[in-house]
Structure formats: structure tokens, C-alpha cells
Amino acid sequence: MRTVGVEEELLLVDPQSGEPCALSTAVLALAARESREGRGHAFQKELQGQQLEFATHPQSGMGELGAEIERWRAEAARHAAGAGGAVAALATSPLPAGPAFTEGKRYRWIQEHYGLTAQEQLTCGCHVHVSVESDEEGVAVLDRIRPWLSVLLALSANSPFWQGHDSGYSSYRNRVWGRWPSTGPVELFGSADHYHQLVGDLIGTGVLHDEGMVYFDARLSRRYPTVEVRAADVCLEASTTVLIATLTRALVDTAAREWREGIPPARHTVGLLRAASWRASRSGLDGELLHPVTMRPVPAERVVYTLLSHLEDALEENGDLPYARKGIAELLSHGNGARVQRRLLHRTGSLRGVVAECVRRTQRSA
């Protein structure tokens, strides 16, 4: 069974006003102090000081993965409280926020080279790592999962608000994140050699600082023997994160099996894939999505169940099918983070109230 690890980026906020706070240095210092005392931690800094990232260990069981996500969310909340703040699993801040760059040579380079694009990158994503046997298998997987990544985005969408206003999108993070020059869907690679050549050519342009800025929706990890799927918003509920991880592992299993059986990848153009991504970021689960096979608009619920059908064999082999069915049914019924946030605004009449409730939900058990 393939192992799965998750990286989550969390938003640091003022517990009273709900506004983003540049507390990452203080939070990391508290975590490091405990680490020296033998407790250890999984946190690291991000581009903006209002962000905090953690990474789980590779896990085979989704129960264990969920428990670790809950643990690090709770630890993040505890350290943030020690620094006078709170954490919220929000992919964008509902309230207005300005840039607060993290110190460091690499981050200074990004700030100087990208200007307003870098200043406005207060966005939080969820990255899922799934183990692969080789780069060749990994690239075969990348080629075959391309049409399905927009569905993961729709399921995870958790960023309807931007700078104090409703953006009109379910995942406005996806739109802001898409301003980097290397983001989004990519062409078919065909082989590991071609993948590495393309990455090398991108670095050679001087537009990117390093390989870490190859922000494809899915890529080979530069540090681990994994495929890293980066399409999703950070999810409001830990249970949704586990569902995204469950579906992502099944996507990798299904794609690898198709590769071994000689089934070619769909040849959708990058333009069509970008349209599918835009549609998912706009609609989330509340409208139409582009069907991954036909690339024609159909109701979101039908597309989600098409994904489940596509993955059914792999989910069953992994023992994850009952959980995936239940998780999808609940998500379609209760809504993703975007729908929940809009419902909270309607109920409270205040974006501050939205943030306060999202702080609470971030720490709630899966």
C-alpha cells in the first residue's frame, strides 16, 4: 500500500479582530524551544509571516493520517496562543491583509522579482504526497491524473473571500496562486527524462529562483520519492483533508495501474485543463464543473461521483471505499469550506465572526 503524507498551510490571526498576524517567527521559536526539550515539531515558515506550515509523516492508514493532522493542528493552535494569536485553516483571509514577508535571502529575492504578485500571496494550500516506485512511474502518474485535479480543487475549495469582499469564487486562492509563472496544469511529459528536462529549462530561464518554485498542480517531489499533488485549498475540516488524501492516493494507484496496462493518458490540452481549473475555482460544489473525460459542463455532484467511480477499484483495494463514499456524501450535503464560510457570514453578518468560527472548526476532531 502506498504511503501518504500531507502538508497544510495555516493562517495566523488575531483572536480578537480576526485579522492576519505576522506571528510565524514567534510561533516557530516556541516550537523550537520545546523541540530542544525532546518534544519535536513539524512546523516551518512560509513566504508570509501570517502563515504556518506543517508536514505529517508518511502514513499507510488514513486513520493514522487523520490523527496526525489533528495533532499538528492542535499544536499549531497551542503555540499560536502562546504568541498571542490563533490559527485558522483558511485558504485566504476573509479580512483585509497586507504583506508581511518572512526574513531570508530566498524570500527577499522573490519579493524583489515578483513585486505585487508576491505581496498578495497570502494563500494557504494543501499538498498531498503519495509514494511512487520510480521517477518513471511518477511521471506516468502525473500524465494520467491531470484531468481529475480540478475535481479535488472543487471538493477542497475554501477561499470565497478576499480583502474583505466576496470574490464570487469558491477558491479565490487558486486565482491568486495562478499568478506565478509556473503554476497550474501542464502538458503531457511522456517520460521522466522529458520531465526533468522541462524543469531544468524552466530554471535556466532565470524566471524561477530554484526548483522549489516549480508550482505545477502536480509534480515530482524534489525531496521525497513521491508525487506531490498541490491543487487543493487548505481544508477547513481535518476530515476533508483526509478525504482529499484518500482520493489522491487512489488517483495515483489508478494512474499507475493504467500505465502498467498500457492505457494512454487523456490528451486534453493545457487550455482545456486551465478552463476546468477555472470552473472549479469559480463554482466549487455549487454549480457545474467540466467533466474530466468529455470536458463539457455537467452538475458538480455528477462529476464528483464520476471521480468516485473512476477510483472505486483502488479505493476498495486500499480499504478506503466506505470512508470515501461517506466523506463525499457528507461533503456534498454539508458543503465545502467556501459554502460553510458564506453560510457563516449570512448567519453572523460579520467576517470577523466567520474567522472566529473557522478558528474553532480548525481544531475540531475529524
Model pLDDT, residue 7: 98
Output the pLDDT for position 35.
Answer: 77
Name the burial class of residue 27, with classes exposed (0-12), middle (13-18) and buried (19+) by CB atoms within 10 angstroms of its CB: buried
- Burial state string for 73-103 with b = 16 or more CB within 10 A and e = fewer than 16: bebbbebbebbebbbbbbbbbbbebebbbbe
Cα separations (Å) of 54 from 153, 287, 355? Answer: 20, 32, 20
Cβ 213 vs Cβ 182: under 8 Å: yes
Q: What is the pLDDT of residues 126-173, one digit of tens each?
A: 999 999 999 999 999 999 999 999 999 999 999 999 999 999 999 999
Q: Is the per-residue pLDDT at 259 higher than 60?
A: yes
Spatial separation of the C-alpha atoms in residues 283 and 204, rounded to whole Å:
37
Helix (H, G, I), strand (E, B) or coil at 343: helix
pLDDT of 253 over the 90 cut: yes
* pLDDT bracket for residue 36 (50, 70, 90): confident
- Look at residue 38 in the predicted model and tell me its pLDDT: 58
Q: What is the pLDDT of residue 354?
A: 98
For residue 39, pLDDT over 70 is answered with no
CATH code reported for the domain at 4-362: 3.30.590.20
Percent of the chain predicted with pLDDT > 70? 98
> What tens digit of pLDDT does each residue of 50-88 get?
999 999 999 999 999 999 999 999 999 999 999 999 999
So what's the pLDDT on residue 366?
41
Helices and strands (DSSP H and E) totals, the chain: 14, 11
Domain ranges of the chain: 4-362
Q: Is the pLDDT of residue 125 over 60?
A: yes
Under the banding of pLDDT at 50, 70 and 90, the label for residue 34 is confident
Instruction: Give the pLDDT score at 91.
Output: 98
